[in-house]
């Protein structure tokens, strides 16, 4: 069974050489390249900024969902991420490396619950997509 179809509409808006208006799921966002990138004005997050944020958002939500399913006393989740090309652990200079640092607050969480929530963090749907082999089709309209 196919899951919900998500549609994003992205169009140049002319505010900078790369600035785009993004409409997705009833939300309006703005994207751009940084000022140090030819023609960008840093009017919004760059594409890898949004991808990194999506991974963090999904991670936090997955941890929260699991804790609620288990009725565990998780009070707060915080995820800080970095993204870079190459670096420590990369197989080559072009490999994308995402690093997630997760802070869980819940004084009544057991050590085992804490460990399980960190394990669950690696199973968020966006991470599974990034680790998988998604099919991306391109067509002219």
Tell me the DSSP string of 45-83. --HHHHHHHHHHHHHHHHHHHHHHHHT----EEEEEEEE
User: With contact defined as beta carbons under 8 Å apart, do 32 and 22 qualify?
Assistant: no
Task: Write out the E strands in the chain.
Answer: 8-12, 20-24, 27-31, 76-85, 96-105
Give the residue from 54, 53, 12 showing the smallest Cα distance to 33.
12
Do 60 and 96 lie in one domain? The reply is yes
Q: Which domain does 80 fall in, by range? A: 46-133
Query: Based on the structure, what is the number of domains in the chain?
Result: 2
Do 60 and 129 lie in one domain? The reply is yes
Instruction: Give the model's pLDDT for residue 89.
Output: 86
Domain end residue (candidates: 10, 28, 45): 45
| 41-42-44-47 Cα dihedral, nearest 10 degrees | 100
Instruction: Give the model's pLDDT for residue 136.
Output: 94
pLDDT in tens, the chain (141 residues): 467 899 999 999 999 999 999 999 999 999 999 999 878 999 999 999 999 999 999 999 999 999 999 999 999 999 999 999 998 888 999 999 999 999 999 999 999 999 999 999 999 999 999 999 999 999 998
Instruction: Give the model's pLDDT for residue 118.
Output: 98
Reduce the DSSP state of residue 19 to 3 states and report it. coil
Which CATH number covers residue 69? 3.30.300.20
Do 22 and 57 lie in one domain? The reply is no
pTM over 0.85: yes
| 83-118-74-25 Cα dihedral, nearest 10 degrees | 40
In a domain, 74, yes or no: yes
Instruction: Give the model's pLDDT for residue 2.
Output: 61
Instruction: Give the model's pLDDT for residue 3.
Output: 78
Residue with tokens 């990194």: 52
In a domain, 139, yes or no: no
In a domain, 82, yes or no: yes
């Amino acid at each position: 069974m196919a899951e919900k179809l998500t549609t994003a509409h992205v169009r140049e808006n002319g505010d900078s050489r790369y600035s785009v208006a993004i409409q997705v799921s009833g939300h309006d966002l703005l994207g751009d390249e940084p000022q140090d990138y030819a023609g960008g004005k840093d009017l919004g997050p760059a594409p890898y900024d949004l991808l990194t944020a999506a991974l963090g958002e999904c991670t936090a939500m997955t941890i929260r969902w699991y804790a609620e399913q288990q009725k565990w006393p998780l009070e707060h989740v915080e995820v800080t991420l970095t993204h870079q090309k190459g670096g420590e652990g990369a197989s080559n200079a072009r490999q994308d490396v995402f690093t997630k640092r997760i802070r869980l607050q819940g004084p009544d969480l057991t050590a085992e619950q804490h460990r399980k929530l960190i394990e669950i963090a690696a199973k968020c749907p966006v991470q599974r997509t990034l680790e998988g082999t998604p099919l991306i089709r391109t067509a002219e309209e």
